Amino acid sequence: MRDLIIPALLIAALSGCDIIDQPKEDLATPTPPGGGNVTRNVLLEDCTGFRCNNCPDAATRAMQLKGIYGDRLVVVGVHMVNTFAEPLPPNFLTDFRTPAGAAYEQTFDISALPTGLINRKKINGSWLVSRYSWSTATAGMIDQAADIDLRIDTLSYDATTNTVSGNITGVVLHPLPTAHNITIYLTEDSVMDWQIDGQTYLSDYVHRHVLRGALNSPWGGSFMAATDQVGDTISLPFSYPLPSNVLQPDNCALVAYVYSTSGADQYEVKQVTERKFTP
């Protein structure tokens, strides 16, 4: 087993947020990775904005797919593109944007919403997938034999220090031609705020699985090397403060994904896993 240790990212202290008055809570440990027939999960990054009038339709489609595939599909709402995501007083006051969203907007050349990234795999030469094609793209990738197994083994949230910590384990299942990084997302579900839906302005729209930040930077850190052998296990302990934009830690989850850093499949997500703070 190879252990990786990454330092906590210096994130601004929580401000104006609801603190859960409870002791540090350890969640049940899932089955360790590496056993049985491991299949590939899918990461659907729903590129969205609260001033995008077609984005609620995309969000509905994403949740329909989530209902079909369950834990095998991880959906993250990434707010981006200033035209659609920049706050606009007096109603659209919340800034859902993140440095991670801005980085992906630039790298993947995103200017029109809604759109999506499905495991960041290029389809017909493009990373961007229309919401009308999310179902087909997801079905074409999900449940394939996985190159990597990935689990968030342990997860705890300490309300006193406002810190989330735990351990992630990955196992190499097939030879990897390139190095792979791991990125850790913090998402928050059921955030109520304004949203344009068609020609209607909604004040009580429920935003799902909102990206609050990439805890170890938008592009993550080194996790698996091309020299790693089949069967190698990598253990990654982590500890991070929650981003300052989090409102309800009880509604949060961690999303960890491993992606290729170079070659023809650069940026492609090879495995993703999600674990909620509250089961």
The DSSP string of 125-174 is: TBSEE-GGGHHHHHHHHTTSBPSEEEEEEEEEEETTTTEEEEEEEEEE-S
State the amino acid at position 274 in one-letter form: E
Inside any domain, residue 181: yes
How many Cβ atoms from other residues are within 10 Å of residue 143's Cβ? Answer: 13
Which ranges of the chain would DSSP assign to H, the alpha helix? Answer: 55-69, 82-85, 99-107, 134-141
Question: Which 3 state secondary structure label does DSSP give 65?
Answer: helix
Q: What is the pLDDT of residue 26?
A: 37
Inside any domain, residue 20: no
- DSSP assigned state of 176: -
Q: What is the pLDDT of residue 31?
A: 42
- Of 244, 251, 250, 252, nearest in space to 16 by CA: 244
Q: Could you tell me how many residues make up the chain?
A: 279
Sign of CA dihedral 123, 127, 128, 131: positive
Q: What is the pLDDT of residue 32?
A: 43
- Which residues constitute the domain of residue 165? 2-8+39-276
- Of 214, 222, 217, nearest in space to 260 by CA: 222
Inside any domain, residue 143: yes
Inside any domain, residue 24: no
Inside any domain, residue 118: yes
State the amino acid at position 275 in one-letter form: R
Inside any domain, residue 169: yes
Low-confidence ranges of the chain (pLDDT < 70): 1-36
- Of 157, 141, 150, nearest in space to 236 by CA: 150
Into how many domains does the chain fold?
A: 1
CA distances from 130 to 69, 82, 126, 136, 161 (A): 19, 20, 10, 11, 41
Give yes or no for a contact between 155 and 277, defined as CB atoms under 8 angstroms apart. yes
Q: What is the pLDDT of residue 203?
A: 97
Is beta strand 2-3 parallel, antiparallel or unpaired with respect to 233-241?
Answer: parallel
Q: What is the pLDDT of residue 21?
A: 28
Whole-number Å distance between alpha carbons of 244 and 15: 6
Whole-number Å distance between alpha carbons of 184 and 236: 11
Distance of CA 127 to the CA centre of its chain: 16
Q: What is the pLDDT of residue 213?
A: 98
Give yes or no for a contact between 176 and 262, defined as CB atoms under 8 angstroms apart. no
The DSSP element (H or E) to which 243 belongs, if any, is none
Cα atoms in the Cβ-side hemisphere of radius 13 Å centred on 107: 13
pLDDT tens track for 20-63? 223 333 333 334 454 468 999 999 999 999 999 999 999 999 99
Q: What is the CATH number of the domain that holds 254?
A: 2.60.40.10
Q: What is the pLDDT of residue 43?
A: 99
Give yes or no for a contact between 155 and 275, defined as CB atoms under 8 angstroms apart. yes
Whole-number Å distance between alpha carbons of 48 and 55: 6
